Every structure is written in C-alpha cells, then in structure tokens.
Amino acid sequence: MVTIRANALIGPELEYTEDIRIQLSNEGTILDISKDKKPTKYILHPSYLLVPGFINAHVHVGDAFLKDKTYGLSLEEAVGSTGIKHAKLSSSSIEEKTESLRNSLQMMVNNGFTTFFDFREGGLECIKLLKKTLTNFPIRGLILGRPFPNQLLEEISSLSDGLGFPDVFSLDEVMCSKANELKSKSSYHLQAIHVSESQEVLARSFSEFGKRDIRKALEVLDLDFVVHATYANEDDLVSLRKANVSVVCCPLSNLYNGLDFPPLETILKKNILLGLGTDNVFFCNPDPFRLMAFSLYSARSNDQKLSPKDVLKSLTVNPGLIAQKKIGQLTVGYHGDLIGLNMESPNLKYSKDVYSAITMRASPADIVFQMFNGRLVKWIGQK
Ligand SMILES: [Zn+2]
C-alpha cells in the first residue's frame, strides 16, 4: 500500500485541493483520496503540487535518430513515402532503431509524460521492438499499428492497442471492412487516422474522391479519433462531433512544417474531446510544457480563446478519455500516474494562477516528484 500527502489537482476538472491524502493499491490504482490525517508514506513539501502524469496523445517515437534533418523541408520530403524518414527506417539496423526508441522514451519520462499514443510504423517487427524496449521505462505506450505489406491486419491489431492509418489515400475497401470488423469483435481496439494536415492533402482528396478527407475517413472507418485536423472546417467538425470522434492536434509540428495553427477553440466549442500531441520526434522534442506554452501563445496570435486549464486537460484528462483507459486524472479507480511540480521554484514562484504557471512557465526542471502506476520514479527534496 502506498500513500502520499500533498496539494493536488483532483478529478476531471483538475480542482486545486490542499493537503489531501492519496492512497494507492499495490497494483498502482488510486483507492482513496481524502482529507484524513492518517500516517502517510510520502509527505511532500507544501510547495509541491501533484498533477496527473502528462499524456502525449500523438507521437512517432521511432524517428529520434533523424532529429533536425528536416527543418525547412516539405512534409512530403520529410515523412512522405519516398521521404527521409521512411528511407532511414527501412535501412537502419535493429540496434540503431532500439537506441533511437530509447532516446525518445527517456526524453518523455524526463519531461513528465507517463503515457503516449504512438502511430507505429514498420509492421510487426517494430511493434515488438517498441514493446520490448518499453519494459525498461516507467511510461505506458499505447501502440497503434498500421497495415504493412505481407502481414495480416489481425496480427498487427492483436499485438497493438489498435490501428493508426497514415491517411485516406492508403485505405482500400477490403482493408477498412477488415479493420472495422476487428474493432467490433475486440474488447479494446482504438482506431485513428491522420487527416487534413495540409492544404495539399485536402486538394488530393478532392481530386481522388471528390470530397474532403475527413468526410471520406468517416464514411469508411469506425474511428475513435483523428489526428491533425489542422484545416478542418465547420462542417468537418460538426460531422466529427456527430460521429463522436475525438480530435488530437499537434500545433508544434504544424508550425515546424510551415502549416497553420489548428482550430483548437472551435474544436472545444463543438464539445469535441481535444487531445494534444508532439508528433514526430525528429520535428520537435516530446516536452509537455513546451507544447502547452506554445499552444497558448499561438492561440493568442491567431485570435483564438483558450484557457490554460483547457490546454492542461488536453494533455491529461481528455486523452485519458480518448484512450478509454483509467488514466489522466487523479480520481479513485484511476492509475497512480503522478507528477509533482515545485510551485516555489524560480520559474513558478509568485504566480497568481496555478494553471497559467503550469502551462506557460513550468519546465521539466520543475518536476520534483514522479510516480508511474504507483511506482516511485523520482523524489527530489525528500526528508
Ligand atoms: Zn503523425
């Protein structure tokens, strides 16, 4: 049994609560959250604030070994089927791939992520490689495999947490009905796809299908969420809401690639669950603080109204709901994934708003306590 006393952001509304006691089972599940004064194993300094471990709702962890190779290039040159990424992925050794994965996972752990959703390239071999590498890191990886030549979709799906399709152009009727069938028969099978990342994607969709790609995707796939939707219009978002499909945006990646800032305010106004992700590691480091600050700054300069709390939820509560797992909030029954921030650090001291401080001022250096599924990862300043 593990117990922690601290100030914390509690529940799905991340409500600031002082001096609470969190009790966790030996399996890492939160059993109780209360104000009682019973003896406690971990008593955190009063300046420390517990928040749910961050969730990176979209990342490609396999391409860290190409960091900074693609600044200034087009999306096609970077991640297209004949681009730099796929050439490297198909020519690199298992050792190189493993080292690259280890680098991505270490960065995410150090930066405060406790879960990530990976769009996994490279078929069964790369899914197995990530699973094996993950066993040495205190972080949860939800793996969305994708169709791969000469491999059965059943096998890819059974080793993954679902399927993440690269785009609508890679779909065919047989594949989609197979994927939908697998989803309907499985107790847990997420399904997602990249959509409307660029104007080029939309133009190609019009020329190949005579319609926008979000509409095409909704017609053929039973989806849990779409990724990007950078150029989604009002009708697209209404259709996503109607189909109960969530949206994961990657603002840092979009701006790195010279694209627009995604319509985060409109997505939230439509009551669509919004998650945020850092996307390809070779575009930008998986850092939740940089992603939150950047999203809030860019929203201002794009005339979008977003609250710091909405952005914090997009990296905690919302992706937990999108994943349909008990993660992303400090609530009884949920996994004990916790990050403690020192609110008296030079970065955060004097802040008059805890949500603004976390989203726009904090950095990984302010993480003083970390727990993954009830297991202690870090505790700085313990008595
Ligand atoms: Zn992606």
The DSSP code sequence of 255-274 is HHTT-PPP-HHHHHHTT--E
What's the half-sphere exposure (Cβ side, CA atoms, 13 Å) at 73?
Answer: 15
Place of tokens 């939160």: 30
d(CA 126, CA 62): 9
Place of tokens 């495999």: 145
d(CA 61, CA 224): 21
d(CA 251, CA 25): 37
d(CA 38, CA 31): 15
**pLDDT tens by residue, the chain, 383 residues:** 899 999 999 999 999 999 999 999 999 999 999 999 998 999 999 999 999 999 999 999 999 989 998 888 888 898 888 888 888 888 889 999 999 999 999 999 999 999 999 999 999 999 999 999 999 999 999 999 999 999 999 999 999 999 999 999 999 999 999 999 999 999 999 999 999 999 999 999 999 999 999 999 999 999 999 999 999 999 999 999 999 999 999 999 999 999 999 999 999 999 999 999 999 999 999 999 999 999 999 999 999 999 999 999 999 999 999 999 999 999 999 999 999 999 999 999 999 999 999 999 999 999 999 999 999 999 997 75
Ligand 1 midpoint to CA 343 (Å): 33
Residue 11: CB atoms within 10 A of its CB come to 16
Ligand 1 midpoint to CA 76 (Å): 13
The two tokens of residue 141 are 């990886």
Ligand 1 midpoint to CA 16 (Å): 33
Ligand 1 midpoint to CA 60 (Å): 6
The two tokens of residue 61 are 């962890």
Q: What are phi and psi of 101, to 5 degrees?
A: -65, -45
Ligand 1 midpoint to CA 59 (Å): 6
Predicted confidence at residue 193, as pLDDT, reads 98
Ligand 1 midpoint to CA 228 (Å): 8
CB–CB of 77/136 below 8 Å?
Answer: no
Ligand 1 midpoint to CA 245 (Å): 17
d(CA 35, CA 55): 27
Ligand 1 midpoint to CA 120 (Å): 9
Ligand 1 midpoint to CA 152 (Å): 22
Residue 55: CB atoms within 10 A of its CB come to 29
Ligand 1 midpoint to CA 249 (Å): 10
Q: What are the structural domains, with CATH classification, of the chain?
A: 2-53+328-379 (2.30.40.10), 56-323 (3.20.20.140)
d(CA 98, CA 130): 8
Residue 80: CB atoms within 10 A of its CB come to 13
Ligand 1 midpoint to CA 198 (Å): 12
Predicted confidence at residue 383, as pLDDT, reads 55
Ligand 1 midpoint to CA 242 (Å): 24
